[in-house]
Amino acid sequence: MSAVTQPVSSRPILRATRCVLRVLIAALFLFAAVTKLFDPSSFAQQIANYQLTPWPATAALSVFLPALELCVGICLLLGRWESGALVWVAILLAIFSGALLSAIVRGLSIDCGCFGRSVENTGTLWPLIRNLALLAVTGFLWFSRKNK
């Protein structure tokens, strides 16, 4: 099989790149999950700062989002159910980016809340740019899967 027709996942350098990026996303999601799981009440307040959801939904999200991030991070780290995990990574990043964009448009001066209270004073613009970059990485991981 020529190099041109070879699947991406069978080329050693791309396979290694793919592995590094998968672990990077896994580590980011695990870090985000653990920092939020330490104090869901505090994370709920950070979600409330976006003024997008009523309080009961905000409280539910403050326990659901870290749980989902944790599951996704573990799946990506272990390389199990990777396709399903990538679906959730893309959905979560799209939702987070939408929330950040709406905060920027409405002129809200709030903290991202992406990593609970462990990383503060990040604003909203840089986290949005980071999320879009991570979405591109997720796209690469999705389209370079071995078993599509």
Partner 1 sequence: MTALRQAGLILLIALGLAGVTAAVHPKRPSFLAPPRDPNEVTLAETKQWAEKVLWVDARSASEFASGHVPDAVCLNFENWSEEFPKFLDLYTPGQRVVVYCSATSCQLSREIAAKLKASGVDGAYFLEGGWEAWKQQNRQ
| Residue ranges that bind partner 1, judged by CB under 8 A | 37-42, 44-45, 48-49, 51, 55-56, 58-60, 62-64, 66-68, 70-72, 75, 81-88, 108-110
Considering beta carbons, is residue 22 or 82 the nearer one to partner 1?
A: 82
Minimum Å distance from CB 130 to partner 1? 21
Both tokens of residue 25? Answer: 């996303």
Minimum Å distance from CB 72 to partner 1? 7
Considering beta carbons, is residue 86 or 128 the nearer one to partner 1?
A: 86
Residue 106 φ/ψ, nearest 5 degrees? -80, 0
Q: What is the DSSP letter of 82?
A: H
Residues 6 or more apart whose CB falls under 8 angstroms from that of 50 comprise: 99, 102, 103, 108, 110
Both tokens of residue 95? Answer: 């939702």
Minimum Å distance from CB 45 to partner 1? 7
